[in-house]
Each structure stands twice: as structure tokens, then as C-alpha cells.
Amino acid sequence: MATEKQVNYAMSLLAKAGYSTNYMNAQFSKFATMRERSGKVQDWLANMGRQEISQLIDRLIKEVQS
């Protein structure tokens, strides 16, 4: 499971990149399946594995920097 620190960091990166930080929506289609996009962003992140959320964080960092 993702650590609290990873979840908080991913949430801040999502906000900086212009994604919703409340509920999953179509914006998340490149990160999550339609089934995964049916809940809250924080729950989705918290249920990720450490490696999985780390990869998401890396993608978000690149997106924010570009």
C-alpha cells in the first residue's frame, strides 16, 4: 500500500497539474481504468502499491515540469 507521504505528494502534484483532487473523472483516463475512476482520488491513491504510486509520481513530475 502507498504511504501517507506518497499519497500527499501525489495529491499536490495532481493539483499542480490541474487534475481534480476530490473525485476521479475522465481526466484520469490515462492513469486509471474506468472502474478505478468511480471513487475519490485520495482513496484511489491510497490503494495503490508503493511501486505503482511511485511510477505515477514520476509521470506527474514530468507533466508538471513541462
Q: pLDDT of 17-65, one tens digit each?
A: 999 999 999 999 999 988 889 889 999 999 999 999 999 999 999 999 9
Cα distance between residue 35 and residue 54, in whole Å: 21
Cα distance between residue 30 and residue 3, in whole Å: 22
pTM for the full predicted model: 0.91
What secondary structure letter does DSSP report for 27? G
Q: For the chain, which residues make up each domain, given as ranges?
A: 4-65
pLDDT at 8 over 90: yes
